[in-house]
Chain A
Amino acid sequence: QKEVEQNSGPLSVPEGAIASLNCTYSDRVSQSFFWYRQYSGKSPELIMSIYSNGDKEDGRFTAQLNKASQYVSLLIRDSQPSDSATYLCAVNGANAGKSTFGDGTTLTVKP
Chain B
Amino acid sequence: ETGVTQTPRHLVMGMTNKKSLKCEQHLGHNAMYWYKQSAKKPLELMFVYSLEERVENNSVPSRFSPECPNSSHLFLHLHTLQPEDSALYLCASSQDIRRTGNRGGYTFGSGTRLTVV
Contacts and interface: CB of A to CB of B under 8 A. Distances in A.
Given A34-B105, A42-B110, A51-B103, A92 B97 contact: yes
A97 B94 contact: yes
A8 B45 CA distance: 21
Tell me the dominant secondary structure on chain B's binding face.
mixed
B111 A43 contact: yes
Interface residues of A, number: 23
B107 interface: yes
Contacts of A34: 105-106
Contact of A97 (B31, B43, B108): B31
Contacts of B43: 44, 88, 101
Interface of A: 31-32, 34, 36, 42-46, 49, 51, 88, 90, 92, 95-99, 101-104
A102 B109 CA distance: 19
A36 B105 contact: yes
B33 A102 contact: no
